[in-house]
Copies of this chain bind each other. A is one copy, B any other.
Amino acid sequence: MAATGPLADDDARTLHQQVLARLRENILLGRIEPGQALTIRGLAAELGVSAMPVREALRQLVAERALELMDNRRVRIPPMTIERFEDLIAARIVLEAEAAARAMPYVTDALIARLEAEDVAINAAVAERDYDRWIGANYAFHSALYGAAGQSAFLPLIESLWLQVGPFLRRAIRTISGHYTVDRHSEALAALRRRDTMALRIAIEADIRDGIAHIGSTLIRSEALGATVVQGTLRPSTSSG
Please report A residues at the B interface, Cβ cutoff 8 Å.
14, 16, 55-56, 59-65, 73, 84, 87-88, 90-91, 94-95, 98, 102, 152-154, 156-157, 160-161, 164
Contact = CB atoms under 8 A, between A and B. Distances in A.
A98 B94 contact: yes
A98 B102 contact: no
Contacts of A98: 90-91, 94
A8 B84 CA distance: 35
Main secondary structure of the interface of A (DSSP, over half): helix
Q: Which of A16, A59, A60 is packed against the most chain B CB atoms within 10 Å?
A: A59
22 contacts: A55-B56, A56-B59, A59-B59, A59-B60, A59-B63, A60-B60, A60-B63, A61-B63, A87-B102, A87-B152, A87-B153, A87-B154, A88-B153, A90-B98, A90-B102, A91-B95, A91-B98, A91-B153, A91-B154, A94-B94, A94-B95, A95-B157
A125 to B, nearest CB: 27
